[in-house]
Amino acid sequence: MMIDDTFIRLGVFFLVLVVMIGLEIRSPARQLPKSTKLPIVSKSKAQIIRLLGNYGITIISAVVARLLLPVGLVGVAVFSTDHDWGIFNLIPIPSWLTIILSLLLLDLLIYWQHRLFHEIPLLWKLHRVHHADPHVDSSTGLRFHPLEIVASLLIKALAIFMLGIPAVAVILFEVLLNGFAIFNHANIRLPHRIESVARRFIMTQILHRIHHSQRVDENNCNYGFSVIWWDHLFLSYTDKSTKLDSKIELGLAEYPDAKQNTHLLGLLMMPFKRNE
C-alpha cells in the first residue's frame, strides 16, 4: 500500500519556511555582507540575485530527485515492508520501538554522510556549493547541488531498504530533516536563555553558523542537523569560535565572486570548476 506523503511534507516545509523568513525579516541576526567582488548594486538587489540562485537550485534538485526516484523514499519503505525485506521486518519488536530506532539510525546516517562530504575531496566538491553561500539564512538550508541531492537520496534509499524502515518513520524523518535544515540555517538568534538551554539538545543557529565559518577548523565541526549528541559522541562538537557570532566570516574564502557563488549557473557549475 502506497502512502502519499507529499502534502504532509510540503505543508510542514512551507510552514517552517514562512515562519523563519518572517523572523529573519523582523529581527535578523546578521546583515547581508558586501562581497569583495560584488558588482555595484544595492544590497537588496544582491539579495534578490542570491535568493533566486538558492531557490532556483532547490527547485532543480527537487525535480531531479523526483525523476530519479518517482516513488520517493516512502515508496522504498513500503516496497521493503510489503516484501518483508530489511532487518526490522525480520525481527519481532514493537512498532513504536522500530520507529524510534529508525529515526535514530537515519539521524546517525545523515551525521556521517555530512561529515564524509566534508572529509572526502570528491564529495566536498559537491558540498561546497552549500558552504560557498556568503550569507546564511533559511534559503541556505535548501541550497544543495543536484548531484549531492542524488547521492543523499541513494544513500537514504539503501539504508531504508536494508534496515526495513517503515513508511511512517521515513515521513517523520523527512519532515524533521527539512524542518531542522531551515531552522538551524535561519538568520535569527534565539533569546539567550532559550539558546543556552536549546544548545544542550539541538543544533541552534549560533552553533551552526560556526559550521559555516570560513575557518577550516571551525567548519569541520557541528555536523548534526538536528540533535547535537552525535557531535559530542564523535568529538566534532564545539561551541567556541574565534569571533563573536555577529562577526564570523561565513562562506568560503576561495569563492568571493558573487556571480560564481550566488548566480544559479555558477552554483550548478561550481563542482566542475577549479576554485580560483
Q: Are 164 and 90 in contact (CB under 8 A)?
A: yes
- In this prediction, residues 51-56 reach a mean pLDDT of 94
Which residues does residue 202 pair with via DSSP β-bridges, in sequence order?
Answer: 227
Give the C-alpha distances (Å, rounded to integers) separating 265 from 58, 60, 148, 166, 269.
13, 11, 16, 38, 6
Give the number of C-alpha atoms closer than 13 A to the C-alpha of residue 96, restricted to the C-beta side.
Answer: 0
User: Which grid coordinates belong to 62?
Assistant: 527537487
Query: What does the pLDDT read at residue 48?
Result: 86
User: Which grid coordinates belong to 44?
Assistant: 537588496
pLDDT at 170 over 60: yes
pLDDT at 70 over 70: yes
Give the number of C-alpha atoms closer than 13 A to the C-alpha of residue 251, restricted to the C-beta side.
Answer: 20
Angle between helices 167-185 and 95-119 (to 10 degrees): 40
The more confidently predicted of residues 274 and 142 is 142
- In this prediction, residues 69-89 reach a mean pLDDT of 92
H or E element that contains 112: helix 95-119
Query: What does the pLDDT read at residue 37?
Result: 44
The more confidently predicted of residues 5 and 108 is 108
pLDDT band at 40 (very low <50, low <70, confident <90, very high): very low
Q: Are 32 and 140 in contact (CB under 8 A)?
A: no
pLDDT, one tens digit per residue, over 20-36 is: 999 999 999 998 876 54
Q: Are 173 and 102 in contact (CB under 8 A)?
A: yes
Amino acid at 146: P
- In this prediction, residues 78-95 reach a mean pLDDT of 92
Q: Are 71 and 2 in contact (CB under 8 A)?
A: yes
pLDDT band at 125 (very low <50, low <70, confident <90, very high): very high
Q: How far apart are CA 13 and CA 65, in angstroms?
A: 17
Q: How far apart are CA 251 and CA 43, in angstroms?
A: 17
Query: What does the pLDDT read at residue 38?
Result: 44
Residues 6+ apart with CB under 8 A from 60: 146, 268
Q: pTM, whole model, 2 decimals? A: 0.91
The C-alpha angle 58, 61, 66, rounded to 5 degrees, equals 125
- In this prediction, residues 230-238 reach a mean pLDDT of 97
pLDDT, one tens digit per residue, over 257-272 is: 666 678 899 999 999 9
